[in-house]
């Protein structure tokens, strides 16, 4: 799993304000991070169709609710090499039984195992952005990246202007 970093990557975040169309987010993101609430509209939205639109090199991370993801479809996408990897902070049920098929995959991890890698990668790639940068991003303005760091593109839609910010 090592080798994937945020440098020069597009990070699509589901659940951060108004998101670009889900199809575009899946197709363009190198990392897809799911943070949305579980509602009737979001239940099972990360499914076979969603995973089939992702890049083969994409990493999928779910920190929202387990039921937002169709876990059988995620298993198939990972096992068939349709996507590169997945990190799961939440599952259905929680915790997963130790014999669950997702846990047998080398390219799928329960987030406590991933936490150190993700934190180190984010620190190296982004530095520590302060919370003060968040209002700037929400207003549709790009935050200043830390010096000497590669750019990371986040696909979000400004809730004030309704325009995609790349």
Rounded mean pLDDT, 120-132? 46
Q: Check: CB of residue 63 under 8 Å from CB of residue 118.
A: no
Q: Above 50 in pLDDT, residue 134?
A: no
Find all residues with CB under 8 Å of 69, minimum gap 6, and list them. 34, 44, 46, 47, 62, 88, 92
Rounded mean pLDDT, 4-33? 86
Q: Which residues pair with 13 in a beta bridge?
A: 33
At residue 77's C-alpha, the angle toward residues 73 and 81, to 5°, is: 170
The residue assigned the tokens 């936490």 is: 115
Q: Above 50 in pLDDT, residue 32?
A: yes
User: For the residues of 68-136, what is the DSSP string, one character each?
Assistant: GB-HHHHHHHHHTTSSSEEEES--SSSSPPTT-GGGG-TTEEEHHHHHHHHHHHHHHHH----TTHHHH
Rounded mean pLDDT, 63-82? 96
* C-alpha to C-alpha distances, 123 to 1, 13, 86, 96, nearest whole angstrom: 17, 18, 20, 29
Confidence grade of residue 31 (pLDDT, cut at 50, 70, 90): very high
Q: What is the largest CA-CA distance in the chain?
A: 47
Question: How many other CB atoms are found less than 10 A from the CB of residue 119?
Answer: 10
The pLDDT, as a whole number, for residue 5 is: 73
For 144-155, what is each residue's pLDDT tens digit? 544 434 444 455
Q: Check: CB of residue 111 under 8 Å from CB of residue 91.
A: no
Confidence grade of residue 77 (pLDDT, cut at 50, 70, 90): very high
Range with top average pLDDT, 33-42, 71-80, 91-100, 105-114: 71-80
The pLDDT, as a whole number, for residue 109 is: 86
């Amino acid at each position: 799993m090592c080798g994937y970093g945020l440098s020069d990557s597009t990070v699509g975040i589901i659940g951060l304000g108004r998101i670009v169309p889900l199809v575009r987010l899946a197709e363009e993101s190198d990392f897809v991070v799911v943070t949305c609430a579980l509602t009737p509209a979001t239940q099972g939205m990360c499914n076979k169709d969603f995973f089939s639109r992702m890049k083969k090199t994409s990493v999928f991370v779910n920190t929202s609710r387990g039921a937002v993801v169709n876990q059988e479809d995620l298993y198939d996408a990972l096992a068939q090499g349709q996507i590169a990897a997945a990190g799961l902070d939440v599952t259905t049920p929680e915790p997963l039984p130790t014999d669950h098929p997702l846990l047998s995959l080398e390219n799928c991890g329960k987030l406590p195992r991933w936490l150190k890698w993700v934190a180190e990668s984010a620190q190296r790639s982004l530095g520590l952005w302060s919370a003060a940068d968040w209002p700037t991003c929400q207003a549709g303005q790009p935050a200043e990246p830390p010096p000497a760091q590669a750019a990371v593109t986040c696909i979000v839609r400004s809730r004030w202007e309704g325009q995609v910010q790349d």
